[in-house]
Amino acid sequence: MRRAFFSIFLSFLMTFLLIAPSVHAASSQFIIKGSTSEKIVALTFDDGSDGTNFNKILDILTKNNVKATFFLTGAGANNHPQIIKKAVSSGHDIGNHSFDHPDFTTISTSEMTSQLSRTETIVKNLTNKSTKPFFRAPYGATNASTLSTVGNAGYTYTLHWTIDSIDWTGNSSTDITNRVLNNIVPGSIILMHTGAGASGTPSALEKIIPSLKNMGYRFVTISQLLGITGNPTLPNTGQATYTVRSGDTLYAIALRFNSTVQQLTQLNSITNPNLIRVGQVLKVPGGSTPTTPTAPTAPTTTYTVKSGDTLYAIALRYNTTVQKLVQLNNIANSNLIRVGQVLKISNSGGGNSSTPPATTTYTVKSGDTLYAIALRYNTTVQQLVSWNKISNPNLIRVGQQLRVR
């Protein structure tokens, strides 16, 4: 009797296990347009690392009382944090556009998750808002694995577009305007960009917004288009973070965030302040806003090397070059300087006043962005784009030779 009961029970259990559905998080819903016949339209902007036109776009939207949606990258949030804050405080929606814009169909599940979480952490600490539940794939590239992974990460909506302005190609404001107005339908999602490559976008917006209003259209955010609540406000932990990039030193990061090496060392339990790695996420003092170090004013003529310094960081801080420091201080190996070493920063006459060569080139390294290179060489993204005939400032490759002055 017991054997018969056990056999029936085991049979029932196996049947249940076979027919019971597996529990998985739903794949992210792929959205091309809003499901509506109402004349509403969503302006969306992808932000890369330079964000040259971001502030101008925000001003145009504010002037016309229009709310939009911005898909943010972690690299962009690191490079222009104040503009990201301004977008959120102005009431615009935000979404996640990865950390540094890789094709999600070519990277692993773990790397996709890392790209999303790094950006979420940076934006959350800047704005107290989550980028969830909205994701836009870099290049618009998705597949089943992508949608499953971003869905599992909490991004329940993957936003594609109805109208591609192709503004990143540098097409004219007239062409951008025509592409939008000639293809508009109720519920359209319009794709534009904030970077220097999309030079025609601000002027196009000045034409598109009044034209669509005259056609009876109303502008909405993605959350309004989908009829959901987006971008929840998160608890303020008072703890900001920074992701280490190629060429960073702890001293340079401390200087940027108005902190000290000792404070960063304690916050992050760092045993050796000379050893930090690219991609490492560091805690920085809560409420800190990154600043670009400025060169001290004359008559400073010497500098004492501190823990974590490199000759490059010192040259950057004093608006000079590694070569000049090497010559002034008779340094045999520019990679070897010691804590406490006193370096001459300028000649007694006020520094080397010789003019730089007519043209200087720079070879792009891993982790570089056009914005960071422009900052390093005291120029602008627009100038680099012009000199090097770059069609998309968000796309530079390792090994590429750039004219920098």
One pLDDT digit (tens) per residue for the chain, 405 residues: 555 544 554 455 444 444 444 334 578 999 999 999 999 999 999 998 889 999 999 999 999 999 999 999 999 999 899 999 999 999 999 999 999 999 999 999 999 999 999 999 999 988 889 999 999 999 999 999 999 999 999 999 999 999 999 999 999 999 999 999 999 999 999 999 999 999 999 999 999 999 999 999 999 999 999 988 777 665 555 567 788 876 777 877 877 777 777 778 778 778 887 788 777 888 887 555 555 444 444 444 788 887 777 777 777 777 777 878 888 888 887 778 888 788 888 644 343 333 334 467 888 776 677 767 776 776 777 778 888 888 877 778 877 888 877
- What is the homologous superfamily of the domain 302-403 according to CATH? LysM domain (3.10.350.10)
Catalytic site residue from 97, 193, 309, 368: 193
193 labelled catalytic: yes
For Cα atoms 151, 77, 106, give the angle at the middle one, nearest 5 degrees: 45
Query: The pTM is what?
Result: 0.57
Q: CATH number of the domain at 240-284, out of 3.10.129.10, 3.10.350.10, 3.30.365.10, 3.30.70.2740?
A: 3.10.350.10
Residues 80, 105 contacting (CB under 8 angstroms): no
Residues 176, 207 contacting (CB under 8 angstroms): no
Q: Quick one: fold of 29-226?
A: TIM Barrel (3.20.20)
Choose among 142, 158, 6: nearest CA to 71.
158
Please report, for the chain, the start and end positions of each structural domain, with discontinuous segments joined by +.
29-226, 240-284, 302-403
Do strands 401-403 and 361-363 pair parallel, antiparallel, or not at all (unpaired)? antiparallel
DSSP state of 167: G
Pull the structure tokens for residue 187.
């519920």
Pull the structure tokens for residue 63.
């002037």
Sign of CA dihedral 131, 194, 389, 163: positive
Residues 392, 381 contacting (CB under 8 angstroms): no
> Cis (ω within 30 of 0) for the bond into 299?
yes
